[in-house]
Chain A
């Protein structure tokens, strides 16, 4: 074994109480970090998952018609103007297949699905519910939101005149698979369709108002033959959505909204949560560092005589320095291994404690190798850093003074 390792480990073993104490401190610190991260990351991932369960990453549509003033201001004269909001008609994206091909080339975009998105009513005997009609190509749409996997009854089959509706809407209308309903659109078109499936996407809005039909069917419902009002996109990295949306805007001149923009409040909340997590972790790391440093400083003072002897018999200051750096690193590493285990265990126990009615954990935790690796890396690095000052003190000890003073 290299000299520095041999001496460092021997002294760690010799001073059992000190070593145990500092290991306990590091373990507790690391377990807090792991537990907190697992919990908060899990919470955030499940929140985002739920949000994106019924939302595309990016939505592309025709810009809203801007109100045009009737009189333009000229030169230095202010002119009273009359501005009226423009009425918003449902319009198709011009040449949408070409636009779709263009959008598919935007870096990061993994799937694009065309859609007709319009408003209307679903009517069944005396029940009349407002709906968002979504005309889609089921193949393509499956890559954006996997409705087929969220079916509670029937199938996500919207070929012909069939529709799939949200579970709340189904119960509001009192219909099930195979029943017929009437769809009335804002264009005044009416049609009778068969409910082929009922889905639940987990968000109230979707389950109460969404009605899927085929793109072709929707085109006729809204008198937009061959048209598509909206393109929905999926991107590789969900947090890259805003950038992708920007690219789409630049390339197509259309409006593109990312889920991040539409959920700015949620993201701000998550950000605040993350910041407080970082703060707590930062202070835990500082406390751990101070703990390691203080124990090592004491140990250098206690061992100054022995360090002096080592120096006198020919050990270089560099080797003495390394002995203490190794001790710091080993303490950090060992403590973080124990702490990672403990933190992971706590997180799992916690997840098991609080379960919802369906048996799914109410606080899903996110434990992954990256978290353990990061925690271990940080603790080892902190251990090394914390050891720098004591180690330098040890390396600077003057052997003559130590020998003289016994």
Chain B
């Protein structure tokens, strides 16, 4: 077995002060480098919650997350932001692009915001990524002038722009028609194969889940099953 990129140990997440909702009731999960894993489960089972915790956007009530060898438990906001910027990429269900910026600028922003100043290399890499997701002719478009599928492809390009070790995608195809969904998932599959980027994809779509290497199912905040997908 390859070395673990992500280790989630006994993660519990409770929401609310007086009425406590237990969104995660002790999750253990490990992801290896280069895996393309699907995270499935009924609505309200805690998928998004788990993804946000892995994505260092939220902290667990108890348990720990070790990402790329770093135990994130005691880290402050600054350190979390830095770790997030360098190891993680995000794709969300609703295209979380910035409408005030062009497709190219959206892809450049993560690196730009981390380093401070833009560089030629940054721009060239962003252009290359946009060409790779088939949007070479749409780089200067405002994201509001792009279709849903195109926007999601920009989001993938942005998620990959820092060459993250792990990309977290929360229902990336949830809003797309079948053809666009296939196209978007196909891109993730391709980047996974070509560059070895690890993906954790939340999906409700069994066709998509079946095309992953591994399917993790959570129900009521616990891992119910964890199996290798048919594609491997």
Contact = CB atoms under 8 A, between A and B. Distances in A.
A1 B110 contact: no
A313 B113 contact: yes
Interface stretch (A237-245, A304-312, A386-394): A304-312
B191 interface: no
Contacts of A11: 100
A11 B101 CA distance: 9
Contact of B78 (A2, A10, A316, A399): A316
Given A3-B112, A314-B114, A403 B98 contact: no
A6 B100 CA distance: 11
A16 to B, nearest CB: 12
A404 B13 CA distance: 15
Given A315-B81, A319-B113, A403 B100 contact: no
A198 B84 CA distance: 87
Contacts of B78: 316-318
A356 interface: no
Interface residues of B, number: 33
Interface residues of A, number: 26
B123 to A, nearest CB: 13
A160 B162 CA distance: 95
B117 interface: yes
A311 B81 contact: yes
A82 interface: no
B113 A315 contact: yes
A406 interface: yes
Nearest to A305: B96
B58 A314 contact: no
Interface in A1-26: 1-3, 6-7, 10-11, 14
A365 B30 CA distance: 76
Interface in B79-136: 81-82, 84-86, 88, 90, 92, 94, 96-101, 109-110, 112-118
Given A10-B101, A306-B100, A319-B113, A314 B85 contact: yes
A313 B110 contact: yes
A313 B94 contact: no
Given A10-B101, A14-B100, A404-B52, A310 B58 contact: no
